[in-house]
Homo-oligomer: A and B are copies of this chain.
Amino acid sequence: VANLGYAACRALSPVYPGDTLNAESEVIGLKENSSRKTGIVFVRSTGCKPDGTKVLEYVRWVMVRKRDEAAPVGGDHIPRLPEAVMASTLGDACPRIDVAAYDFTLAGSPSRFGDYAVGEKIDHIDGITVEEAEHQIATRLYQNTARIHFDQFSAAQGRFGRRLIYGGHVISLARTLSFNGLANAFHIAAINGGRHVSPLFAGSTVFAWSEILAKADVPGRDDVGALRLRTVATKDRPCADFPLKSGNEDDSAVLLDLDYWVLMPR
């Protein structure tokens, strides 16, 4: 039915244009919902190169309909998941860089690892309006063929009445927008957790802001440091005042709340 959350996502090896990747998923947990009609399935997915090298690993939990509502489940099994990926495990997918040769002017910003402070919030300022053709083309690129993204005839009869934009595209847009303010965060090393807070539809304009949650050394690396970021994306709502909550509820403009580690030159 839907992806509910992500955890323990780590980039494990560099990927280059022309590489072929395969993915495998393993069910690592089950929890029946109180309705007994659906349940939550915990899955660990691993992406590999043909020689078996792991390039990415992550856990997500998805809501799934039970084939037979009356079927017994045999007790819940909820896997223990880390609150965040440990900084000491980051960097395997980032080749060592020569910081002296790194051109901060060409990169678009002089700001390095040392220039960011924990607690700092950054408005990424720019907005991107999404067209139906654009999200469909992007979603095809990832070979995601879920009908909710492509079939307006069926969507018109559904909950939203509209084609829903793929959550992976929302994450990509938030990452793109974050360039303005985090230009040298050139590598995503891990995703600690993420939540698709509300749906996005074509015609809306996406904005984003980020907060520096933590800073960490990467063991054995003096070329890069790790920033733990929270990036929040919104729709039709500029982020100069960092929208997040409205009372105890999520601000209705918030689309995405993503917690991840990036690497940045020192």
Binding site for B on A (CB under 8 A): 22, 106, 126-129, 131-134, 136-137, 145, 147, 150-154, 163, 203, 205, 207, 236, 238
Across the interface, do B129 and A131 meet the contact criterion of CB distance under 8 Å?
A: no
B residues less than 8 Å from A205 (CB atoms): 151-154
B residues less than 8 Å from A22 (CB atoms): 106
B residues less than 8 Å from A207 (CB atoms): 153
Closest Cβ of chain B to A255, distance in Å, is 13
Closest Cβ of chain B to A75, distance in Å, is 30
User: In whole angstroms, what is the CA distance A134 to B150 when docked?
Assistant: 12
User: In whole angstroms, what is the CA distance A154 to B137 when docked?
Assistant: 25
User: In whole angstroms, what is the CA distance A205 to B136 when docked?
Assistant: 13
Instruction: Kindly report which residue of chain B lies nearest to residue A235, judged by CB atoms.
Output: B153
- With A133-B134, A134-B136, A136-B134: A127-B106 Cβ-Cβ less than 8 Å: no
Instruction: Kindly report which residue of chain B lies nearest to residue A203, judged by CB atoms.
Output: B152
Across the interface, do A128 and B151 meet the contact criterion of CB distance under 8 Å?
A: yes
Of the candidates B136, B154, B236, the one whose C-beta lies within 8 Å of that of A153 is B236
Across the interface, do A128 and B150 meet the contact criterion of CB distance under 8 Å?
A: yes
Across the interface, do B150 and A129 meet the contact criterion of CB distance under 8 Å?
A: yes
B residues less than 8 Å from A136 (CB atoms): 129, 131, 134
User: In whole angstroms, what is the CA distance A132 to B137 when docked?
Assistant: 13
- With A134-B136, A151-B205: A129-B163 Cβ-Cβ less than 8 Å: yes
Of the candidates B126, B151, B152, B236, the one whose C-beta lies within 8 Å of that of A150 is B126
- Taking A127-B153, A128-B150, A129-B152 as given, write out 10 further A-B residue pairs in contact, using a Cβ cutoff of 8 Å, ordered by the A residue number: A126-B151, A127-B147, A127-B151, A127-B154, A129-B132, A131-B133, A133-B137, A134-B137, A137-B137, A153-B205
User: In whole angstroms, what is the CA distance A163 to B203 when docked?
Assistant: 12
